């Protein structure tokens, strides 16, 4: 798979998940295609303020039980499956994920998108893409943003 960075993590077997680091142009060229885009910012208000067109809000909090204010153990597989179905994710759905330093949360340096990518792969999503530089880079390059959800 071509991307802006050439960085990817591929499984040893054909059925193992692939995680790739992509650039904004790669994602922008696929906005109208069958790719699910997840905004994984820590605060939903940041998503409401602005996000990549077609993105849905979905963060680690939907996959883990909190412990001392931090993500802890994963919820049951059944709950993960229901949450994935709710936003249109199946194992064969290509999924791009990003985060940003939010206006409301004032935090976000890429860890959230990395953790989400790991979780997606862990639960069997075959093709996971991480937006290099996240929403911050998307905005720096003056790409389209929306408040539509």
Residue pLDDT, tens place only, 78-95? 999 999 999 999 999 999
pLDDT of 1 above 70 = no
Q: Is residue 72 part of a domain?
A: no
Q: Is residue 81 part of a domain?
A: no
Q: Can you give the pLDDT at residue 106?
A: 54
Q: Is residue 25 part of a domain?
A: yes
Can you give the residue range of the structural domain that contains 42? Answer: 8-58+91-140
Question: Which residues is 96 bridged to in the sheet?
Answer: 37, 129
Average pLDDT over residues 112-138: 93
21-70: pLDDT as tens digits = 999 999 999 998 899 999 998 889 999 999 999 999 998 889 988 778 77
Q: Is residue 85 part of a domain?
A: no
CATH number at residue 41: 3.40.250.10
User: Whole-angstrom Cα distance, residue 147 to residue 117?
Assistant: 24
Q: Is residue 86 part of a domain?
A: no
User: Whole-angstrom Cα distance, residue 113 to residue 73?
Assistant: 18
Q: Is residue 84 part of a domain?
A: no
Q: Can you give the pLDDT at residue 2?
A: 41
Q: Quick one: tokens of 19?
A: 């995680």
Q: Is residue 106 part of a domain?
A: yes
Based on the structure, what is the number of domains in the chain? Answer: 1
Q: Can you give the pLDDT at residue 15?
A: 63
Q: Residue 123: exposed, middle, or buried by beta-carbon count in 10 A (0-12, 13-18, 19+)? A: middle
Q: What is the pTM of this model?
A: 0.84
pLDDT of 113 above 60 = yes
pLDDT of 107 above 80 = no
pLDDT of 138 above 80 = yes
Alpha helix positions (H), 1-148: 24-28, 44-49, 77-86, 111-122, 134-140
Q: Can you give the pLDDT at residue 32?
A: 85
pLDDT of 17 above 50 = yes
Rounded mean pLDDT of the chain? 85
Q: Which residue has the higher pLDDT, 105 or 112?
A: 112
Q: Is residue 113 part of a domain?
A: yes
């Amino acid at each position: 798979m071509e991307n802006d960075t050439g960085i990817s993590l591929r499984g040893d077997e054909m059925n193992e998940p692939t995680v790739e680091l992509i650039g904004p142009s790669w994602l922008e060229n696929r906005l109208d295609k069958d790719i699910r885009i997840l905004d994984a910012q820590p605060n939903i208000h940041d998503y409401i303020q602005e996000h990549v067109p077609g993105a849905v809000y979905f963060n680690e909090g939907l996959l883990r039980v909190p412990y001392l204010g931090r993500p802890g153990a994963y919820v049951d597989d059944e709950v993960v499956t229901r949450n994935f179905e709710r936003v249109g994710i199946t194992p064969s759905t290509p999924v791009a994920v990003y985060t940003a330093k939010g206006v409301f949360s004032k935090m976000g340096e890429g860890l959230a998108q990395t953790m989400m990518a790991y979780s997606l792969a862990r639960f069997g999503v075959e093709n996971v893409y991480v937006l290099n530089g996240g929403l911050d880079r998307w905005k720096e390059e003056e790409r389209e943003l929306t408040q539509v959800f």
